[in-house]
Amino acid sequence: MLSTDDHRRDSAGLRYVYPVVSRRAGGVSVGINLNTNNACNWACVYCQVENLTRGGPPPIDLDGLEQELSGFLADAVHGDFMQRQVPPEARRLMDVAFSGNGEPTSAPEFAEAVARVGKVLARFELLGKLPVRLITNGSLLHRVEVQAGIRQLGEFGGEVWFKIDRVDPTAAAEVNGVSLVAERVFRNLELCAGLAPTWVQTCWFALNGETPSAAARKAYCELLKPLASRLAGIHLYGLARPSMQPAASRLTRLPAEELSAFADEIHKKTGIRVSVSP
């Protein structure tokens, strides 16, 4: 049986496709991992990927991906996968999510992978019924081929979860391991929201015993406010599972009340709806 703690990418014995019972999605999420080498262009301190390295994925075997997804859906929809592997309360498919061991859009084949997923879903009469999600750090939205993939995902009735954890460059460097420029993040988010329904996903926690400051909260709200009418909302979440990075011991979960208070502040200052998962 898969449990909500079982987020191993190899739980179905496949290369690209991994089912998880997702806390966020509330059922079985069919994950698509393009980053089979655990390489990401970011290095978030809370990342749950073991043996995370910097870089991009190896070439994607698109036919293999298509076959794996077809085979898995055949077992999940027509076979006994749910009975064999999933607790009774979670026996329904929630989404197909590009969410792997690294940044999915860094694969040059990303747009083609989205197209293949759409093709398979159409074959199972699930296109437009089973949402296709992209969990991304949004850093590559300036690439035309990434935009093409997201546009297509939007046409499939899908949505994007776009990571913004901290706005201040120093904090972003500490939390995400990259140098971010707020204007570029804004531009990429704006672009993304124009292509597909876009949620901002934000991981909020204390680092080295320090809760993000009032200035950090203010900068975050100011960045997002101008896009309020174009965003689907914000997912604000705490440290759901332990970090697999060397910095793990420097992270502390915040009390649920603190996350709720920040969610209220965001909503009050920006008008954007916020869902909280402490």
Write out the H or E segment, with its range, that includes residue 143: none
- Number of other residues whose CB lies within 10 A of the CB of residue 173: 13
Rg of the chain over Cα atoms, rounded to whole angstroms, equals 18
φ/ψ of 192, rounded to 5, equals -60, -45
Q: Which one, of 132, 162, 19, lies nearest residue 79 by Cα?
A: 19
Residue 244 beta carbon to ligand SF4: minimum distance, rounded to whole angstroms: 9
- The answer to the question of residue 103 lying near ligand SF4 (CB under 6 A) is yes
Contact 115/78 with Cβ under 8 angstroms? no
Sequence length of the chain is: 278
Of residues 22 and 137, the one with the C-beta less far from ligand SF4: 137
Closer to ligand SF4 by CB, 90 or 140: give it: 140
One of 137, 188, 198, 270 touching ligand SF4 (CB under 6 A): 137
- Using CB under 6 A as the binding rule, whether residue 149 contacts ligand SF4 is answered as no
Separation of CA 43 from chain center:
15
Q: Under rule CB under 6 A, how many of the chain's residues touch ligand SF4? A: 10
Residue 102 in the binding site for ligand SF4 (CB under 6 A)? yes
Q: What is the C-alpha separation between 73 and 81, in angstroms, rounded?
A: 9
- What is the identity of the amino acid at 64? G
Instruction: Pick between residue 16 and residue 42 the one whose CB is nearest to ligand SF4.
Output: 42
Q: How far is the CB of 40 from ligand SF4 (least distance, A)?
A: 3
Chain-centre distance for alpha carbon 105: 11
Question: Is 234 one of the binding residues for ligand SF4 (CB under 6 A)?
Answer: no
User: How many CA atoms lie less than 13 Å away from 194 in the CB half-sphere?
Assistant: 10
Within residues 38-67, the interface with ligand SF4 by CB under 6 A covers 40, 42-44, 47, 49, 52
Identity of the residue, 106 or 270, whose beta carbon is nearer to ligand SF4 in the bound complex: 106
Burial environment of residue 97 by CB neighbours within 10 A (0 to 12, 13 to 18, 19 or more): buried
Write down the least CB distance from residue 1 to ligand SF4, Å. 26
- Give the residue with the Cβ less far from ligand SF4, 119 or 142: 142
Collapsed DSSP state (helix, strand, coil) of residue 56: coil
Q: How far is the CB of 220 from ligand SF4 (least distance, A)?
A: 17
- Tokens 């749950």 sit on residue: 48
Q: How far is the CB of 168 from ligand SF4 (least distance, A)?
A: 17
**136: β partners:** 162
Q: Cβ of residue 157: shortest distance to ligand SF4, in angstroms?
A: 24
Query: Whose Cβ is closer to ligand SF4: residue 81's or residue 220's?
Result: 220
* Cα-Cα-Cα-Cα dihedral sign, residues 131, 224, 167, 276: negative
Stretch that binds ligand SF4, among 37-45, 67-75, 225-233, 259-267 (CB under 6 A): 37-45
Tell me the closest approach of the beta carbon of residue 134 to ligand SF4, in angstroms.
Answer: 12
Q: Which is nearer to ligand SF4, 30 or 127 (CB)?
A: 30
Q: Which is nearer to ligand SF4, 40 or 167 (CB)?
A: 40
Binding site for ligand SF4 (CB under 6 A): 40, 42-44, 47, 49, 52, 102-103, 137
